[in-house]
């Protein structure tokens, strides 16, 4: 029987991992994701989960342990936050290039300096070009759901890629909300057991990761890139199955809110969408035709889905919660890819960005009102005056 409970995002991630019957877990403490591992440690200690719980000696080791486990046929799970995510940087490419579909839970956090516990997308965004699946949830419920959806997509033989399941530190990881936990029969129906391809074995010897010649590099890179052409289809299938089996209503790629007739739109990621929806409602009451698009996957980037969802809007404000110092627009990362996605449209929306929620700051309803004002002026003047506005200075 499905159960409805009140829990934090961290607990929801652990419940997702437990439902997926993960077999090798590797921990290392760093706030705020730590609570996920605390929950799993207790589940293993209480005999609710038959898994090896390994205390890694750092995030680099965490990734290495789950790489070895996934290469040997175990469903493996780890996680991190902030500078922990970047400490493990060496291992992201070997994980993805070796096609080891382990999962990493992220409760995001700023990078140093200075030390700050606050949420920011910057940590996991740093890994976006290493070949992992990557996306943010907007609630504990979606964290639980994404944990299962990501294993299903990542372990699909057309994909075989590691997955980064992100939630915002504190906003989602530590604020309890309603979560419906699936019945184990639903989970079994949705998520088949992990079937590794050519795992390490004593009966069928294999070699994983030999050296290549430089001229063998380009075809391999092309293969890694080509996988991402197939991933969207697998995500669509998995999301449709998930919606059917668990009774949810996810759009596979872009969560659209009042976009159909919108003139201005906010482009957001994660739980800031919850404030944004209320702001859209309020703006609508004031006669502003506002809407919202929430990105569910950063990798694969849903290029065409975004063009379809946002092409008709007159002005878009990208709400950036990560930094791209010195980047093309001198602000965050998302605006680059969104503008690229819209480039081939005959009629391109105007696009600017708002640096908001950095350092773990709340993005307030009033901030969205200000953004709406900027976007409305852009529509009126038919011009993008600035590429980036810093909110909360």
Partner 1 sequence: MQAFNYKFQQLEPLKSFKRVPVPEMYVPGHRTCAGCGPALNYRLVAKAAGKETIFIGPTGCMYVANSSYLCTPYAVSWIHAQITNGGAVASGIEAAFKVAARKGRNTGVFPNIIVMAGDGGSVDIGLQAMSGMMYRNHKVLFICYDNESYANTGIQTSPTTPYGAKTTFTPPGKEIPEGKVLFPKDPPQLVIGGHPAVKYVATTTIAHPLDLMNKVRKALSQPGPTFLHMLATCPKGWLFPEHLTKEMARLAVETGMWTLYEWENGTYKYTNVPKKYKPVNEYMKHQGRFAHLKPEHIAKMQAFVDEKIKNVKQAIAVAAPVPTARQKA
CB of 44 vs partner 1, minimal distance in Å: 8
For 29, the token pair is 């403490």
- C-alpha–C-alpha distance, residues 133 and 336, integer Å: 19
Q: Which of 97/365 has CB closer to partner 1?
A: 97
Q: Which of 104/372 has CB closer to partner 1?
A: 104
CB of 230 vs partner 1, minimal distance in Å: 23
- C-alpha–C-alpha distance, residues 313 and 378, integer Å: 12
Contact 356, 367 (CB under 8 A): yes
- C-alpha–C-alpha distance, residues 356 and 62, integer Å: 31
Q: Which of 200/379 has CB closer to partner 1?
A: 200
Which residues contribute to the site for partner 1 (CB under 8 A)?
A: 23-24, 26, 47, 50-52, 54-58, 60-61, 64-74, 76, 90-91, 94, 200-203, 205-213, 216
- C-alpha–C-alpha distance, residues 106 and 81, integer Å: 6
Q: Which of 323, 95, 294 is nearest to 209 (CA)?
A: 95
CB of 220 vs partner 1, minimal distance in Å: 10
Q: Which of 205/287 has CB closer to partner 1?
A: 205
Q: Which of 29/327 has CB closer to partner 1?
A: 29
For 210, the token pair is 């030999």
CB of 199 vs partner 1, minimal distance in Å: 8
Q: Which of 91/293 has CB closer to partner 1?
A: 91
CB of 65 vs partner 1, minimal distance in Å: 4
Burial class (CB in 10 A: 0-12, 13-18, 19+), 287: exposed
Q: Which of 53/297 has CB closer to partner 1?
A: 53
Q: Which of 23/320 has CB closer to partner 1?
A: 23
**293 φ/ψ angles, rounded to the nearest 5 degrees:** -120, 125
CB of 83 vs partner 1, minimal distance in Å: 16
- C-alpha–C-alpha distance, residues 228 and 153, integer Å: 12
Rounded to a whole number of angstroms, the CA Rg of the chain reads 21
Torsion of CA 327, 329, 333, 335, to 10 degrees: -160
CB of 12 vs partner 1, minimal distance in Å: 24
Q: Which of 308, 17, 303, 356 is nearest to 168 (CA)?
A: 356
370 in helix, strand or coil? helix
**326 φ/ψ angles, rounded to the nearest 5 degrees:** 80, 5
Q: Which of 65/153 has CB closer to partner 1?
A: 65
- C-alpha–C-alpha distance, residues 80 and 139, integer Å: 18
Spacing of C-alpha 260 from chain mean position: 25
């Amino acid at each position: 029987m499905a159960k409805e409970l009140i829990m934090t995002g961290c607990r929801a991630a652990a419940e997702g991992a437990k439902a997926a019957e993960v077999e090798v877990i590797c921990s290392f403490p760093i706030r705020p994701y730590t609570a996920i591992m605390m929950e799993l440690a207790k589940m293993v200690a209480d005999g609710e989960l038959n898994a090896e719980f390994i205390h890694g000696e750092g995030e680099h080791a965490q990734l290495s342990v789950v790489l070895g486990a996934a290469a040997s046929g175990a469903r493996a799970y780890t996680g991190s936050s902030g500078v922990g995510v970047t400490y493990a940087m060496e291992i992201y490419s070997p994980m993805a290039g070796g096609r080891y579909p382990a999962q990493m839970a992220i409760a995001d956090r700023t990078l140093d300096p200075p030390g700050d516990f606050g949420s920011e997308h910057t940590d996991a965004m740093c890994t976006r070009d290493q070949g992992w699946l990557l996306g943010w949830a907007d609630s504990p419920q979606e964290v639980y759901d994404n944990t299962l959806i990501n294993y299903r997509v990542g372990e699909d033989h057309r994909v075989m890629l590691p997955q980064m399941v992100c939630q915002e530190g504190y906003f989602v990881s530590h604020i309890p909300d309603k979560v419906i936990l699936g019945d184990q029969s639903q989970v079994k129906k949705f998520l088949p057991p992990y079937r590794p391809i050519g795992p390490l074995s004593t009966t069928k010897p294999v070699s994983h990761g030999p050296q290549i010649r430089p001229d063998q590099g380009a075809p391999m890179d092309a293969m890694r890139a080509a996988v991402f052409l197939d991933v969207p289809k697998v995500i669509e299938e998995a999301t449709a199955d998930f919606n059917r089996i668990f009774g949810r209503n996810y759009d596979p790629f872009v969560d659209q809110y009042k976009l159909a007739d919108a003139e201005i739109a906010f482009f957001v990621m994660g739980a800031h969408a919850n404030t944004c929806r209320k702001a859209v409602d309020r703006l609508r009451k004031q006669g502003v035709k506002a809407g919202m698009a929430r990105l569910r996957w950063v990798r694969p980037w849903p290029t065409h889905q975004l063009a379809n969802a946002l092409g008709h809007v007159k002005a878009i404000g990208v709400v950036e919660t990560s930094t791209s110092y010195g980047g093309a627009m001198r602000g965050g990362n998302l605006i680059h890819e969104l503008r690229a996605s819209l480039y081939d449209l005959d009629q391109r929306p105007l696009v600017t960005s708002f640096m908001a929620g950095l350092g773990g700051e709340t993005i307030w309803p009033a901030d969205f009102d200000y953004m709406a004002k900027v976007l409305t002026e852009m529509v009126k003047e038919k011009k993008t005056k600035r590429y980036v506005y810093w909110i909360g200075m």
